[in-house]
Structures are given as C-alpha cells and as structure tokens.
Structure 1
C-alpha cells in the first residue's frame, strides 16, 4: 500500500477526501469521494416542536395583499392614472419611528406606490406641515411617525400627539386613527357614507394586520357565519390597551363576535357584544387561561408572558417590537400557532388603506362624481326670487326711491 493510500484509509472515518492516483470508489466501496462537511447545527425553527405547534411567517400572509396592490397600481398606470402618493411626516429621533419610515418607503417603492418623506426639524411645525398635506390635492395618504410630543417637554404634553391624529383628514388618514374612523370603529359603523354605503371605513393598520393574521389561521374565524359573527364563541386576551393597537383591536374583534379581555397595567375590561364591562375578579392569568387567542403588545424588553398560562391549541400573536413570550417554550405546547412579528402585514395594510382612500376620495372618476353631485345639488336648490345682480340692484334702488317719496310726502 502506498503512503498516499495509507493516509486516505486512516482518514476515511473522518470523511476527508484526498486525491489519489488510485480510484477512490474502487479502493473504498461505499465512499463517494465528496469532501467532508460538518453537520449543520439545527436552527431554532427546526427544533422538534410539539404536535400541531407551528411558527407562522407574517411575510407569507402579507404576500397576497401586496401582490393585489401591485396589480391595482399597474391597472391605474395602464389607464394613464398616476400611482397614489403617500406622504410621511417625521419629526422625532426615535429609532423605531425612523426604521418604520424606512420600511414604509422601501415597501411602497417595491409595490409601485409613490412615497415622500418630509422631515420636520421642529415639532411645533408638524401641525402646519400636516395641514399643508391635507390641502394638497396631489397627496392621497398621510402617515405621521409618532411619538412626537411624547418624547420632549411641551406645553400640550403627550396629548398633542392625539390632537395631531385628529388633525389628519379622514380622506388621507392611512393609519385610520383620526376621530372620524375611531368613532365609527367603536360604534361598529363600517362605512363613511351612510346610508349609501359605498365607501368602507379605513381601520387602524396595525390592528387590522392582526385581524388578517387571525383570518389566515384555521379555527380563529368561521367564514361560514355572517360578518360580525365570525368569532362567536371565541375568547381573546389582548395585553396592552394602547390607542394604536390594543384598544382598536379589542373593538374590532368584539365587533366580529368575540369576547375580548383587554389588559393594561392597572385594569382589565371585557368587550362583549359591543359593550364594555369592568372586570373586578379577573387576573391576567385567568384571562389568558380562558383564551384561545392571546395577543401581546407590551413595549418593554423585560416583560414575558408566562408560558404556563397558555393552553393547548392557542394562537399567540406578538405585536410588540420585543418578544413578549418565550418562543422555545410556547412551541412545546401542543397545537400552539405562534406569530412572532406583524410588521410585514402592517405595512401591507398601510398600503391597502392608501388604495382604499384613493378609490374612496381621490380617483379621477370619484372626483368627477363628487363634482357632478355638487352641481346636481346646486341645480336642485330653489331658485332665489332674484335672477341676477342687476335685479337686486334695481329692487334696492326702487325701494330707496319709494322710501324717499314717502318721506317727502310726510
């Protein structure tokens, strides 16, 4: 045996391939001659899961929505209509807000939507910039990246951000957070043009993204039931009652028939049948244990939802930028459906809201209909007793002359 062959034979157990004048396949039957490759470590998502447990990629849920948006934009372009314009207003140094603005811009560009980020140095100028965007006929959607006044000392305090949300025109509010849409949501009014009902309301995009995720998960929504009853018999717990996600999401799921526990730092409420009930005897643990759907949105790194509270077959959605649950632990619970992030679906819903606003208020055909309606209403108004300015002048002059004659006669 040659020296080279001896080395090859000694190294065979380690699957190291060394070139030899002899045929490797002849010398060592069963060895294919490929270099040894270390077995890759099992990735976290490839670890053995409990039976029926699953981690859901939000990107797969967002994909069909974004494909439909691209199709709509292309149809507009084919008809000679410019793509909708979304304007973002950024007036803070919050890293998360800046990252969200960046994601929004990239997504819009990829989907054919025009996007313009307007950076404002002084938060005091945000209202003026917002009103300018409201009045600009070229702008079809507006998103304000919060918090603004919540980060710095101001005369108005954090309430100024709420004021700005209500300042966004309902015709441009892609976030669905202005008073018009919030009020309609909490009263379960689904159209802005009652009783015609041709223009659907815009819903808060992050809360809407959670609804779309739940609709994609088997057993959460019953599509055989009529709208407003598709979550009947379901109990949901939402941890964090923010105006951006927790509060509107609780209302939306309750409007679909679910019993929804809304948990915040110092209180628990139950949304049931469109009514709000204060819960005195419930705890976060008792609510979670009753629920087949749990949604977490606590914006702190230290918070963890105890995995022991989660029951078999529960759907868990993490809305916060931090992981509010121990992923490895909950995926060891039988039948758990876990969605770790909703950002991609949120951006898709933002674009979807923009398209809805465009077709509701800004499409050339819609604007023509509105102008036509205005002309029709003007034509239907009773004609005044005078026909033109000359008749008014003549009547006034005649009245003055008669008054003078009567005065002189006296």
Structure 2
C-alpha cells in the first residue's frame, strides 16, 4: 500500500515544527513570482500554507519579471529574510539560470544556486568554509523523490550506497530536478539511464557517459522508472514497456504513464509536491542553523 506524499510530508513537517519552536527566533521566507504560470501559483500557495503551519513568516512578492533581479539582490541584503524562493519558469531560457545564481546561497532554500549544484555534482555533502559548517542542501524536488521512495521501501534508508544494484530510468534531465536526481541516485549506487530531447546518458557514481541504449531497452532493464516531462506530446509509457515489479513515479504536472502502466507497476507514485515543499522548509532551517544562528544546536537530519 502506498505511503502517500501527504503522509511523508506530514512526518517532516512535525519534525521541522518542533525544531523551529526550539529556535526562539522567527524565520522569514520570501517567494518571488514573475508571471501567471498556474503551476507556479499552486506551488506558491503550497509554500504559504506550509510556512503558516510551521510558524514561518511567508511573503509572496509578485513582480514584473524584469524587476526580479533587483528584488532578489535586495532580499539577499535584507537581514530579516532567511530564505528565498523564485517560482520558475520566469523567462524559460538561460536567463532563469542567471536568476538562480543571483540568490545568495545562504538563503537559497531550493538548492539551485551553482554553489550548491557544484557541491552536489562533486558529491560534497558538507559545507566546509571558514565561517560556516553544516550539511549541504540539495534541490528540493530531487530530494523529495528519494524521500518518497525511501518511505515506501524502494530506497535504502541508511548506508553510503542505499541504491546499490538498482537500475533506474529517468525521463527529465533539467538542472532543477532530473540531472541532480540522476547524480544523487548514481552516487548512492544506482545505474541511471537519463533521457531528454538530446538523447540518453548513462550515470554511474555521479558521472555521465554516452550510451546508445534505447528507451525500450532501458525500461525493460529498470527496477524504477521516474518521469517529469511537462509536455502532452511526450509518448506516454505503456504497460508492455515495463518489466514486472517496476516501481514508477511521476513528478510532472502532466501524466507520463498510461492508466494500464500505472496499474501494472508494483508501486505507482503520482506526485511528490507536498514533500518538495517540506524539503524547502527543511532547507530553510538547515541554512539558518549553518549561516545565521548564533548557537548551533542539532541540525535536522
């Protein structure tokens, strides 16, 4: 029986709420929205509700996209703000990458700044600086995927190689979710086939190599299939493409599996959104303890 994303998120929220109460200091998160993209509005509402439940002050700032850069700079310099979120896409091109790097890494609760991405790709799991020490943060949706798999017994909960001997196919290689997820799972021991419009790559131990494997071959080999293709033109994965006992997860807003494939899967996970938001709140607390707290107590696990 599926342990739902809501159940997993509730567990983390309870832990985070207790930690926040112990701080004795109010935390503040600011979200920046640069358009009317419906999924971004939904995500912003999820974030607002989660913050209110946990006792975090949340403010949504809706601006023209051309004003976002200066607004992020101002938030970086504002000592009352401990976490910054930007709801992407803003421009839908390389300018979004530029905005991600504008966010101060100390306030980047989504873990998308190049500082954190570089640590992830180098498999550096700790912050090690002259003025700070703590655990590194990673992109929230990628982490949410691992947490829901772990909660459902599909991913190891301990050890340095919790995905050893697993073969996984991921359809999505964005810098926001798919590529970080491939690196994280391969660092944990999995063999990852990563697909996007540029073709397949094979990830082993955090490193990518070229491969000529086909979609059909990768799916037949896979213990897990994870998809996040936000396009209705993506050819949905069919039941006859999957091996028996495959675990399937869809984190896109659009269904990437047919109903028959969902039914055939040993476990089908339709979304991770609630956990993604919980991971953002977890990162908020982690960054506060690393960079802003005067006294470091126990960091959230």
Counterparts of 2:26 and 2:258, CA distance in 1:
42
Q: Give the alignment's TM-score, normalised by structure 1.
A: 0.69
Whole-angstrom distance in 2 between the partners of 1:55 and 1:212: 13
Is 2:286 aligned against 1:286? Answer: no
Q: 1:139 to 1:249 in 2, by over 3 A?
A: same
Write the distance in 2 (CA, Å) between the matches of 1:342 and 1:309: 23
Question: Which residue of 278, 299, 307 corresponds with 2:230?
Answer: 299
Distance (Å, rounded) in 2 between the aligned partners of 1:252 and 1:291? 17
TM-score by length of 2: 0.93
Residue 314 of structure 1 pairs with residue 246 of structure 2? yes
2:288 equivalent to 1:345: no
Note if contact 2:82-2:107 (Cα within 8 Å) is conserved in structure 1.
yes
| Distance across 1 between alignment mates of 2:15 and 2:126 | 22
For 2:293 and 2:131, the matched residues in 1 are separated by 18
Q: Does the 8 A contact of 2:83 with 2:107 survive in 1?
A: yes
CA contact under 8 A between 1:87 and 1:116: conserved in structure 2? Answer: yes
CA–CA distance in 2 between the matches of 1:311 and 1:342?
Answer: 23
Give the corresponding residue for 1:7. Answer: none
Higher strand proportion (structure 1 or 2): 2
User: What whole-Å deviation, never above 9, does each CA across 1:317-360 have from its counterpart, x for those lacking one?
Assistant: 11101111124543245xx1111011011111111111111111
**Which consecutive unaligned segments of at least 5 residues does structure 1 have?**
1-53, 151-157, 367-410
Structure 1 residue 56: Cα displacement: 4.2
State the partner residue of 1:68: 15
Aligned residues: 295
The CA deviation at 1:245 is 0.7
Deviation at 1:275, TM superposition (A): 2.0
Q: Per-residue deviation at 1:103? A: 1.2
Q: How does 1:152-231 map to 2 (within 5 A)?
A: 158-193=93-128, 198-221=133-156, 223=158, 226-227=159-160, 229-231=161-163
| Residue 102 (str. 1) matches residue 45 (str. 2) | yes
What does 1:80-91 align with in structure 2 at a 5 Å threshold? 81-91=24-34
Larger Rg: 1
The 1:332–1:257 alpha-carbon spacing in structure 2 relative to 1, beyond 3 Å, is closer
Q: Give 2:204's match in structure 1, choosing from 272, 279, 304.
A: 272
Give the direction of change, closer, same or farther, for the CA distance of 1:129–1:318 in structure 2 (3 Å limit).
same
Aligned match for 1:133, one of 67, 75, 97:
75
**How do 1:111-150 residues align onto structure 2 when only pairs under 5 Å count?**
111-120=54-63, 122-150=64-92
Equivalent residue number for residue 252 of structure 1: 184
**RMSD across aligned C-alpha pairs, in angstroms?**
1.7
Distance 1:329 1:316, change over 3 A: closer
Secondary structure of 1:176's counterpart equals coil
How far apart in 2 are the matches of 1:359 and 1:134?
17
